[in-house]
Amino acid sequence: MTDDSSDGLPVRYADIERASKRLDDDTVVKQTPVERSTSLGEFVDAEVHLKMEHLQWTGSFKTRGAYNKISQDVDRGVDNFIAASAGNHAQGVALAATKCGADSTIYMPENAPQTKVDATREYGATVELVGKDFQETMSRAQSAVEGTDAEFVHAYDDTDIIAGQGTLGIEMYHDCPEVDTVVVPIGGGGLISGISTAVKHLSPETRVVGVQATGAETVHESLDKGMPVTLDQVDTIADGIATGGISETTFEIIRRNVDEVVTVSDTDIARAILVLLERAKQVVEGAGAASVAALLSDDLDVAGETVMPLLCGGNLDMTQLQTVLVHALTERRQLLQLRVHIDDQPGKMQDISGRIADQGANIRNVRHDRSVEDLEVGEAYLVFDVETNGKQHSASIIDSVEAAGYPVSDITRTT
């Protein structure tokens, strides 16, 4: 432990300590478990401890910051709160306001996952679905506060919010004091600002690594320009970190306390979600899986270290889960799409289907394409969707069909 390394910054370690005392109620925030993952450790040649904050009440860390702010505001007489959120902050604000006996109205993007909308209402908030993206939703929510006695609860540009999120940093340090590197997703930067402030105070030598989705990445450009940069639009499956910008407050803390920032693609994130399902038996949303995506990428070297990736959210919409799984399984060649050129005669489909079955593969779907410009009269394409065991199995299936004299195109990656 060292002297306060947050001197001169808008949030100090002492602020986080005070927040920790306010959150000393396990009906509001519980201490989430840490689990060592030997599978991930083998993948990256490190000792990996997963911090399972996705098992928090509301399914994410957001209640920490929301309660720290709202409880103080209610003590000052505020009884009505407004927020903008893609989902997790919404639930945190809703739960915190309800616990404190206050009202809350949450503005969410029109495309917000239905599970997050429903959960926010169940925690006691009124939900308004407005805006095509987070920036538009934010603007509408801030306008709604004007001329009212309501208090706006920003998702990350608020020192009380940041201090509340920082309580997770204290918890992570005490979970594993020997940790060499912590890996934290970045949206607007409130989470990593709080965690890095706590971690750098308690263990200055611990490396703090931030992770952004490629389609919402702003930190590198912000650091290069010396000021926060905001994107006009974002494009990522990780809606929890799809803010498209950081604030002046979080920029200053990131610049001082965060050692490294890496970016991960949606494919990386989908792969991490699947790995966590298979190896850790955990259902984690895109933002929550971003830390593991970084761990599995070539851009972050943790070999020989003790590392703690933060699984910060578990509110994964089942429709999105299906989309992610199809993408990840396709990338791993466990879902294969083949187009077979045939003479359009009886028995061809049965013959090819039998050859695929002989390889121990399951056909999910098959269709006949006859209205294709490059086909001659009497020709057709059969398109098979096939479940396989992976790349080698896929290659064997293709070889088997080709050996029977059928021209085959693997169209898996072009559809």
CATH architecture of 13-59+165-328: 3-Layer(aba) Sandwich (3.40)
SS3 letters across the chain: CCCCCCCCCCCCHHHHHHHHHHCCCCCCCCCCCEEECHHHHHHHCCEEEEECHHHCHHHECHHHHHHHHHHHHHHCCCCEEEEECCCHHHHHHHHHHHHCCCEEEEEECCCCCHHHHHHHHHCCCEEEECCCCHHHHHHHHHHHHCCCCCEEECCCCCHHHHHHHHHHHHHHHHHCCCCCEEEEECCCCHHHHHHHHHHHHHCCCCEEEEEEEHHHCCHHHHHHHCCCCECCCCCCCCHHHCCCECCHHHHHHHHHHCCEEEEECHHHHHHHHHHHHHHHCCCCCHHHHHHHHHHHCCCCCCCCCEEEEECCECCCCHHHHHHHHHHHHHHCCCEEEEEEEEECCCCHHHHHHHHHHHCCCEEEEEEEECCCCCCCCCEEEEEEEEECCCHHHHHHHHHHHHHCCCCEEECHHHC
pLDDT for the residue numbered 136: 87
The residue among 155, 93, 141, 87 whose CA lies nearest residue 118 is 87
| Cα distance between residue 333 and residue 318, in whole Å | 22
User: Do residues 91 and 116 lie in contact, with contact meaning Cβ atoms separated by under 8 Å?
Assistant: yes
pTM of the model: 0.90
Report which residue type is found at 396: S
User: Do residues 240 and 216 lie in contact, with contact meaning Cβ atoms separated by under 8 Å?
Assistant: no
pLDDT for the residue numbered 251: 98
pLDDT digits (tens, 9 = 90+) for 106-145: 999 898 878 889 999 999 999 999 998 777 888 999 999 9
Q: Domain 333-414 belongs to what topology?
A: Alpha-Beta Plaits (3.30.70)
- Angle (nearest 5°) at CA 354 between 350 and 359: 155
* CATH class of the 62-153 domain in this structure: alpha beta
> For 178-203, what is the mean pLDDT?
98
All structural domains of the chain with their residue ranges? 13-59+165-328, 62-153, 333-414
* Strand order across the 335-343 sheet: 362-369, 379-387, 335-343, 408-410
> For 348-362, what is the mean pLDDT?
96
Q: Return contacts of 363-366, CB within 8 angstroms, 24+ apart.
A: 363/387, 364/335
Residues 6+ apart with CB under 8 A from 192: 184, 185, 186, 208, 210, 250, 254, 258
**8 band by pLDDT with thresholds 50, 70 and 90:** confident
| Cα distance between residue 340 and residue 165, in whole Å | 55
| Residue 69 falls in which region: left (phi positive, over 0), alpha (psi -120 to 50) or beta | alpha
pLDDT digits (tens, 9 = 90+) for 248-286: 999 999 999 999 999 999 999 999 999 999 999 999 999
pLDDT digits (tens, 9 = 90+) for 65-108: 999 999 999 999 999 999 999 789 999 999 999 999 999 999 99
**328 band by pLDDT with thresholds 50, 70 and 90:** confident
**5 band by pLDDT with thresholds 50, 70 and 90:** low
- Angle (nearest 5°) at CA 57 between 23 and 183: 80
Q: Is the pLDDT of residue 415 over 50?
A: no
**What value does the mean pLDDT of the chain take?**
94
| Cα distance between residue 231 and residue 236, in whole Å | 13
**1 band by pLDDT with thresholds 50, 70 and 90:** low
Domains 13-59+165-328 and 333-414 share a fold: no
Residues 6+ apart with CB under 8 A from 88: 58, 59, 60, 61, 62, 116, 240, 287, 313, 315
